[in-house]
Chain A
Amino acid sequence: MKKALSLSFVSLLALGVVAGCNNDESSANEEGSSGSGSGEKLTVWSFTDELEEPIQVFEERHGVEIDLTIIPIEDYPTRLRPVLQNGTGAPDVFTGELAFIKDWVEQDYWEDLSQEPYNVEDLEGDYVDYVFDMGRNSEGAVKALSWQTTPGGIFYRRSIAEEVLGTDDPAEIGERFSTMDGLFEVGEELKAAGYRLFPDEGAVRWFAQGDNPQPWVDENDELIVTEERLNHFDFAKELRDKDLTAFAPEWSPAWFAAMDGPINYNAGWDEVDEGASNEVEVFSYALPTWGLHSVLKTNVEETDGDWAVTNGPSPYFWGGTWLGIYSGSDNKDLAWEFVKMMTHEEEFLTDWALDTGDVLSYLPVTEKIKDEFQDEFLAGQNNYTFFLDEAQSIDADTVTRYDQQIDTLFGNAVSDYVEGVRTKEEAVDEFYNLVKNAYPHITVPNE
């Protein structure tokens, strides 16, 4: 019995995991950030490497050293939160992603930029509306700014469009893509010619909101499930049943491979049409602004220059990085200089945009460069004006702090239905139960 007790005690150690990860003392400062306040040194935390180049520019200009810590996005909030709460080893500047920005602006982590000496309210008109609004908390204080805007579109292969649809003009393709029915029609035409509309069913999830974008959860903590969202189940199922995708799940090796040429399709599988060829090419990908330079360009060789971007049935946006100053930083002046350069310094941002193709949210720069902008990868198409137009239809009010998790649960429910393991009613019902389980305070429709 003594042994049993000591053993169970050992297993109790495993419990340490929970508290160990969120209590204040234990997890801080592993990252070796040498603390704020040394005067000529600045610490920055982020979840991508995209700040590396701006940091170099900043270091050269100001003769200071910046310590950049990159933490993978899955761990980012968990690692950052304890550090921010007790201040030890906290960064001077840190970024926030769309998925958690709504949570963070409500906390005291970021400095209030609406106040002196920052006065960012004066800049309000200089940004794409939703980008500026997203950094604002419920009391009206702006906590974070962003340099980019991330509306989405559909990137497609020009050569295939020319062959099957008789044109590769983004305006004409966009016209055909402007409704879900149109999308499916094009899908059928492509299929008849041996191509596939999308790599997988997940591509249409961005259009699940239809013309009626609503937040997942309203101000009364009620889950809102619109007719459009429910229709999404049927669209995804239809894509599968009509065999319009290449069965290449998002972020899988096949998904990437399909960007650059044909992928394996028919290995003699029963349910695939007998005449289907062994290999198939994918026509289009639903991706946002950053999809161009950080997904397509980095994974494509053969099809470079064969792409164009156009609209889908409804506007959407995906991701985005915001930047703010840690409220407990001892080095706020320098931190502000960095935020300033990154979010509203014309010279730097112009170079940055021309260099990376990132679509900026800072209008004084976009006004200057948008008309001349063209991208060789897109055969000279001006993606800048396209995305800036799309950005106009984005509404910051539809973003809630629950989006990432509820989207995931919703995606699983759709996938259960598409796979045929649940009926639509069962899948929707289970989705409500899971939302309730994750967020007990939210009222769900099946209660």
Chain B
Amino acid sequence: MKKLDNYGYMFIVPFFIVFITFTIYPILLTFYYSFTNYNGMGDPEFIGLANYSRLLTDSYFYSAFYNTMYIWGINFFFQLSIALLLAILFSDIRLKMRGLNFFRAVFYLPNLITIASVALLFGILLGWHHGTINHLLMDLGIISSPINWLNDPTTARWSVGLIGAWMWFGHTFIILMAGISGISKDYFEAALIDGANRWQTLVKITLPLLKPIMLYVLITSLIGGLQIFDLPMLITDGTGAPQGSLNTMVLYLYNQAFRYDNYGYAAAVAYGLFIITVIFSVITFKSMYRSNVKEG
């Protein structure tokens, strides 16, 4: 029998100290705050479930959820379609595209720009009377009066969704490329020999075998998407204007805590967000599990 000692634990202690201090403790403290009317100063006062009952009837929270899903939906659709299209182009054995490494870097670049710079950049591009995009569209004869992109609820949500897609498609592209290169070349060659055309190869081979990877992309994107915060925050100066259309759940949480000093309520919002995230995760995992069974 092997001799066991406890040295191993010493190596994992640092992780647990950091984990408990910066993760577990804040989570539990937030839970505690969610039952109080803590306002950032003085002592928290216990108020029971008042914050949660307010949350259930808070129309702004529901509209924040709607905004978040709206923006994420646009973001995800374009992010995945662009990335998928590019991944298919680059992996096509008949096209033999060159410069994959170069393009991979180029596609990923938007993701490396600080979000503050992105917000500033698009703030200028999407400006109203002085915005570059409006002037461009005007010169091309597409519009005859300037569109106030960031001041109309629909165009504002679409703008933020598309900026997100632009920032993240490179990331998704890399993951999908990895997924496609994991598919055995034999399938593609066999399909080629059997006379399958591109569309058939795509629908019958690439997409089905890519499904697990796409689900992974979906889940990580969804969890990230539920926490959309930085762009709406920076583009609207934290107001979530126009008409609260860019007021996402985390922005709402942030404003309740750090602008309006309702820390207790913000903590309840955080747990509301948590529950929503859990529900979505369970749904996606369930569906993923079922599809695996079918395939097997």
A-side residues, CB < 8 A to B, are 1, 3-4, 7-8, 10-23, 25-26, 74, 77-78, 81, 85, 103, 107, 246-249, 252-254, 263-265, 267-271, 405, 408-409, 412, 415-416, 419, 421-422, 430, 434, 437-440
Contact = CB atoms under 8 A, between A and B. Distances in A.
Interface residues on B, range: 35 or more
B274 interface: yes
B278 A415 contact: no
B285 A3 contact: yes
Contacts of A416: 241-243
B261 to A, nearest CB: 8
Interface string B45-83: 000000000100010100000000000000000000000
A332 B259 CA distance: 31
A421 B153 contact: yes
B227 A14 contact: yes
A227 B257 CA distance: 32
Interface string B255-296: 111111011001100110110011001100110000000000
Given A7-B285, A247-B128, A437-B60, 18 more contacts: A4-B278, A4-B282, A11-B278, A14-B227, A14-B277, A15-B30, A16-B27, A16-B30, A19-B267, A23-B29, A247-B129, A247-B130, A254-B129, A264-B129, A264-B130, A415-B151, A419-B242, A438-B260
B33 interface: yes
Interface string B236-248: 0111011110000
B138 A12 contact: no
**Which residue, A11, A26, A253, A419, has most C-beta atoms of chain B within 10 A?**
A11
B148 interface: yes
19 contacts: A4-B286, A11-B281, A13-B23, A15-B27, A18-B267, A19-B30, A19-B267, A23-B29, A25-B21, A26-B22, A26-B26, A77-B258, A81-B41, A249-B128, A252-B127, A254-B130, A415-B242, A434-B244, A438-B255
Contacts of A26: 21-22, 26
B148 A419 contact: yes
B145 interface: yes
Interface of B: 21-23, 25-27, 29-30, 33, 40-41, 54, 58, 60, 123-124, 127-130, 134-135, 138, 144-146, 148, 151-153, 219, 223, 226-227, 237-239, 241-244, 250, 253, 255-260, 262-263, 266-267, 270-271, 273-274, 277-278, 281-282, 285-286
A270 B60 CA distance: 36
A15 B129 contact: no
Scoring B23, B60, B130 by chain A CB atoms within 10 A of each residue's CB, the highest score goes to B130
Contacts of A77: 258
B274 A269 contact: no
A18 B257 contact: yes
B274 to A, nearest CB: 6
A439 B267 CA distance: 16
B130 A263 contact: yes
A107 B42 CA distance: 9
Contacts of B54: 440
Given A16-B23, A18-B270, A422 B29 contact: no
B26 A19 contact: yes
Nearest to B60: A437
B26 A16 contact: yes
A22 B277 CA distance: 23
B145 A7 contact: no
B241 A8 contact: no
Contact of A252 (B41, B130, B259): B130
A238 B13 CA distance: 66
A180 to B, nearest CB: 24
Contacts of A7: 219, 223, 281, 285
B51 to A, nearest CB: 10
A78 B254 CA distance: 11
Nearest to A258: B130
A19 B144 contact: no
A113 to B, nearest CB: 20
Contacts of A15: 26-27, 30, 270-271, 273-274
Contact of A422 (B243, B253, B256, B282): B243
B219 A20 contact: no
B258 A78 contact: yes
Contacts of B29: 19, 23
A253 B124 contact: yes
Given A3-B285, A20-B22, A405-B260, A269 B129 contact: yes
A3 B267 CA distance: 25
A286 to B, nearest CB: 19
B281 A4 contact: yes
B240 to A, nearest CB: 9
B138 A268 contact: yes
The 9 closest A-B pairs by CB, nearest first: A19-B26, A247-B129, A270-B145, A8-B278, A438-B260, A16-B26, A19-B30, A254-B130, A19-B29
Contact of B241 (A17, A81, A85, A415): A415
A129 B249 CA distance: 43
